[in-house]
């Protein structure tokens, strides 16, 4: 779509201002290993997910 921000730009903006965490279960279901993800993206479990979404200043959550 011409109105949409290209994915590389969108990802750069998110990584500049925040974090991208891939849940452990989603990664396992898709056979994604830590070496498979792009720099700046991490795989983490439920405890990390909860601490991130409940942190002061958390602004966006995409699930």
CA distance 11 to 50: 22
2-11 contacts, C-beta under 8 A, 24 or more apart: 11/38
What CA–CA distances, in Å, run from 11 to 46, 47, 56? 22, 24, 22
Confidence (pLDDT) at 1? 61
Confidence (pLDDT) at 63? 65
pLDDT in tens, 18-63: 888 999 999 999 999 999 999 999 999 989 988 988 889 887 767 6
Instruction: Check pLDDT > 80 for residue 14.
Output: yes
pTM of the model: 0.72
Confidence (pLDDT) at 32? 97
């Amino acid at each position: 779509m011409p109105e949409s921000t290209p994915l590389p730009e969108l990802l750069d903006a998110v990584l500049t201002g925040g974090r991208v965490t891939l849940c452990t279960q989603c990664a396992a279901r898709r056979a994604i290993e830590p070496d498979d993800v792009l720099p700046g993206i991490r795989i983490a479990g439920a405890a990390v997910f909860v601490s991130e979404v409940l942190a002061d200043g958390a602004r966006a959550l995409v699930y």
